[in-house]
């Protein structure tokens, strides 16, 4: 359900490494429960934008405002780094393309899920363990492997674990960077199905970066198309993909451009 007040407001956001390298003058709003896809060819600025949005890369100009659980508007880069990190652990989640960037590989799967709960103040070992087991089930991981380290998991399993670790604290907003990239096609399809169900079931707001338009079509309600650091087209996913207005989007959709 999309409510009237946005969760995130992005105004004139700019982070440039060189002319047209990075992102420039980005404006959009994200509503609760909405999945926004950011698509574009390699080097168009998708990751730069996502890193700014998720509080991990300080922009050169512009503002990102987030409405928190207490209904207060926070200006992301007016917060201290400590407060931004706290948001990422509590109200937000971040699913990286490479699970090793989002997991602690040296501790068990159960600890990977449990430490997120501890970070939001849970202390009861039995409860933390029970929720770890439940989440392993929810992402279709074998619960008998809860004490194994992620290094012994396959790529697809690691990605499921990373998703469980992120969602266990019931974030309101999750950033995803190519969450199915680098996986086998069959593993990708099952993971996408799982993600779609979780996003709907938990009513999550998501910003997802992908160069795969099939992933965008399946998960995102709305798309922004980036080129050379700018948004060249945006709108409802079906509209953008079925009836692209801009020549660049037309090329992208007809797969003339390689990712």
Ligand X SMILES: Nc1ncnc2c1ncn2[C@@H]1O[C@H](COP(=O)(O)OP(=O)(O)OP(=O)(O)O)[C@@H](O)[C@H]1O
Residues near ligand X (CB under 6 A) are: 17, 21-22, 40, 42-48, 211
Q: Least distance from C-beta 144 to ligand X, angstroms?
A: 36
Q: Which is nearer to ligand X, 33 or 40 (CB)?
A: 40
Residues 6+ apart with CB under 8 A from 200: none
Is the CB of residue 180 less than 8 Å from the CB of residue 211? no
Q: Least distance from C-beta 70 to ligand X, angstroms?
A: 32
Q: Least distance from C-beta 49 to ligand X, angstroms?
A: 7
Q: Which is nearer to ligand X, 21 or 230 (CB)?
A: 21
Q: Least distance from C-beta 54 to ligand X, angstroms?
A: 13
Q: Least distance from C-beta 215 to ligand X, angstroms?
A: 13
DSSP of 184-244: -HHHHHHHHHHHHHHHHHHT-EEEEE-S-HHHHHHH-SEEEEEETTEEEEEEEHHHHHHS-
Instruction: Name the phi and psi angles at 71, rounded to 5.
Output: 70, 25
Pairing of strands 205-209, 173-177: parallel
Residues 99-121, buried b or exposed e (16+ Cβ, 10 A)?
A: beebbeeeebbbbbbbbbbeeee
Q: Which is nearer to ligand X, 106 or 182 (CB)?
A: 182
Q: Which is nearer to ligand X, 45 or 179 (CB)?
A: 45
Is the CB of residue 9 less than 8 Å from the CB of residue 29? yes
Q: Least distance from C-beta 259 to ligand X, angstroms?
A: 7
Q: Which is nearer to ligand X, 17 or 125 (CB)?
A: 17
Q: Which is nearer to ligand X, 42 or 134 (CB)?
A: 42
Strand partners, 30: 8
Q: Least distance from C-beta 200 to ligand X, angstroms?
A: 26
Is the CB of residue 164 less than 8 Å from the CB of residue 202? no
What count of other Cβ atoms lies within 10 Å of the Cβ of residue 154?
A: 11
Q: Which is nearer to ligand X, 48 or 54 (CB)?
A: 48
Query: For residue 128, is it left (φ>0), alpha (ψ between -120 and 50) or beta?
Result: alpha
């Amino acid at each position: 359900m999309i409510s009237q007040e946005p969760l995130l407001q992005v105004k004139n956001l700019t982070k440039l490494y060189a002319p047209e390298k990075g992102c420039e003058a980005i404006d959009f709003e994200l509503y609760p429960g909405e999945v926004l896809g950011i698509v574009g060819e390699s080097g168009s600025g998708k990751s730069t934008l996502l890193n700014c949005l998720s509080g991990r890369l300080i922009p050169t100009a512009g503002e990102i405002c987030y409405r928190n659980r207490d209904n207060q508007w926070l200006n992301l880069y007016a917060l201290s780094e400590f407060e931004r990190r706290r948001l990422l652990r509590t109200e937000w989640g971040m699913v990286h393309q490479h699970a090793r960037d989002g997991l602690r590989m040296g501790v068990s799967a159960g600890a990977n899920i449990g430490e997120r709960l501890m970070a939001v103040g849970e202390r009861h070992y039995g409860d933390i363990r029970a929720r770890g087991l439940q989440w392993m089930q929810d992402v279709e991981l074998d619960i008998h492997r809860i004490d194994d380290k992620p290094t012994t998991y396959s790529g697809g399993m690691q990605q499921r674990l990373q998703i469980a670790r992120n969602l266990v604290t019931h974030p309101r907003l999750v950033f995803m960077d190519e969450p199915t990239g680098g996986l086998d096609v069959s593993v990708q399809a099952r993971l996408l199905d799982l993600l779609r169900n979780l996003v709907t079931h938990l009513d999550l707001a998501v910003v997802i970066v992908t160069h795969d338009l099939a992933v965008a079509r399946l998960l995102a309600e709305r798309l922004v198309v980036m080129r050379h650091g700018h948004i060249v087209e945006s709108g409802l996913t079906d509209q953008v993909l079925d009836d692209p207005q801009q020549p660049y989007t037309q090329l992208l959709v007809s797969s003339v451009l390689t990712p």
